[in-house]
Amino acid sequence: MFERIVCGVDGSAASLEAVRQADVLAADGGRLVLVAAVDLTDALHFQIAPTAVHAARHALAQAEELDRHALTALDRARSEVVRATDVATLEASGAPARCLAETAVAEGAALVAVGSHGLGRAEDLGGVAVRLLHRAGCSLHVARAPAEGGWSPRRVVVGTDGSPPSEAAVATGRELAARLGAAVEELTVEQHRAGHALVEAADGADLLVVGRRGSHRAHLLGSVSHHVARAARCSVLVVRDEA
């Protein structure tokens, strides 16, 4: 389905789930790039030291620890990949959302995948995923672990309002459902409580697919992607319309 996917990794259970789900979403022969962002600003949050030298040493030690953690997280994430054969690992320097968005551009990725939380002390789902909705020039997958077993979608819900972004979401949802052998349900939403309606409709589903771009009534789903990314109890795929 997705020829190139960039996936955020930080060693958390949520990010490992994102890796597993990205592996499912990747097209046969596609490329999966695992990215661990090392935000060196975290290393500056050191305790007050007696001298500038001690403070610098403490910051350096924290930076080295962050680097070791990133490498360990990448190794662990790589071990979760079972389908994809073209897999790359990358340690990037900077804030997670920026690193993922920039890597997606460099790789020509069609999708960025992240866990439902994690990816940095200062950037949880409210930070990374929302920032990526604004920053990433591609689709976004927010992975949530299923209640039991591995993630193998059997029920896919797609929201539509008739706009080009939602039509792209419908096409993607149908293609994914056909490939994965899942049932697909297409829900037409109106302006009033669209986000709530989608979240409620997706209760018990494995994946909720919506479109994004635009804030007009004609592009209603673009205004609710933030809500469903935060509130849905299943994984959410926000499809970016390339037009």
CATH of the domain at 181: 3.40.50.620
Task: Indicate the number of domains in the chain.
Answer: 2
Residues whose CB falls within 8 Å of the CB of residue 193, separated by 6 or more in sequence, listed in order: none
For residues 106 and 177, state if they share a domain.
no
Flag whether the pTM goes above 0.75.
yes
184-212: pLDDT as tens digits: 999 998 766 788 999 999 999 999 999 98
| Selection from 119, 123, 104, 116 nearest residue 151 by Cα | 116
For residues 9 and 73, state if they share a domain.
yes
For residues 195 and 122, state if they share a domain.
no
Query: What pLDDT, on a 0 to 100 scale, did the predictor assign at position 204?
Result: 95
For residues 173 and 96, state if they share a domain.
no
Examine residue 97 and state whether it is found in any structural domain, yes or no.
yes
Instruction: Give the domain extent around 212.
Output: 155-240
Is 93's pLDDT higher than 90?
yes
94-118: pLDDT as tens digits: 999 999 999 999 999 999 999 987 5
Is 84's pLDDT higher than 90?
yes
Q: Given 143, 178, 210, which residue is the final one in a domain?
A: 143
Contact 196, 228 (CB under 8 A): no
For residues 163 and 92, state if they share a domain.
no
Is 138's pLDDT higher than 80?
yes
165-189: pLDDT as tens digits: 889 999 999 999 999 999 999 999 8
